[in-house]
Amino acid sequence: MFSAPRPAYALDIRWQDAFFTPDQQGRWAFEHGQFTEAANLFADPMWQGWAWYRAGNNAAALTAFANLQTPQAYFMMGNCYARLKDYPRAVAAYDNALKLQPEFAQARANRALVAALIPKAKPPTKDQQQQEAPNLKPDEFKFEKGDKGKVVKLTEAQRKALDADLWMRNLHTTPADFLRQKFAIEAQGQKP
């Protein structure tokens, strides 16, 4: 009458697969802070890129965003490159976003911040400066282009501008440090 039960076979099916699409499962994982799992579940490249970005895997996020050619995808690529400290590529990605959507305020703001972080050419060493112009006094300036050999005295304002330019060229900071300092300065300015 009764027979022995049949052995259960293990299937590689999760119960969620029967009720939810991979993107729905990825969204649930994303909302619960499980970004790596979410990135592996998402089929949508934009959501997958966002999950990798939030997980801190910028290289994987770049790969996901590279499949898209939208202003938002280029914007996120710029953010990934900025996190990787590849500032010239970040600026190029923001430029691509702005070509597709010129009024994209976040892309314009991030582009300006990252462009300011691109290191300028290093100033010559003291030995190089002495070899190039050993007879110049500190308050004189020699033009290399156009007026060769002409020595021009700089005003105090011009000298300060050159000093500020040299300081900015030697400034090396991360986007986070730059923003932290910017917000601290703004907060000090708003106090009564």
pLDDT tens figures, 145-157:
555 555 556 677 7
Question: Which long-range contacts does 167-170 make (Cβ < 8 Å, 24+ apart)?
Answer: 168/116, 168/120, 169/119, 169/120, 169/121, 169/122, 169/123, 170/122, 170/123
Regarding the domain delimited by 69-120, which CATH topology (the fold level of the hierarchy) does it fall under?
Answer: 1.25.40
* Residue 192 pLDDT: 43
| Ramachandran quadrant class, 9 (left: phi over 0; alpha: psi -120 to 50; beta: rest) | beta
Residue spans in the chain of domains classed CATH 1.25.40:
69-120
Q: Please enumerate in sequence order all residues whose Cβ is within 8 A of that of 63, keeping only pairs 6 or more positions apart, or say none.
A: 52
Query: Exposed, middle or buried, 190 (CB in 10 Å: 0-12/13-18/19+)?
Result: exposed
pTM greater than the 0.85 cutoff:
no
State the greatest distance between any 2 C-alpha atoms of the chain, in Å, as a whole number: 113
Please name which of 36, 95, 104, 87 lies closest in space to residue 64, comparing C-alpha atoms.
Answer: 36
Structure tokens at 72: 């938002």
* Residue 164 pLDDT: 64
Q: Please enumerate in sequence order all residues whose Cβ is within 8 A of that of 40, keeping only pairs 6 or more positions apart, or say none.
A: 26
pLDDT tens figures, 2-60:
666 655 544 444 645 556 676 677 787 888 888 888 888 888 888 889 899 989 999 99
Amino acid of residue 59? A
* Residue 43 pLDDT: 83
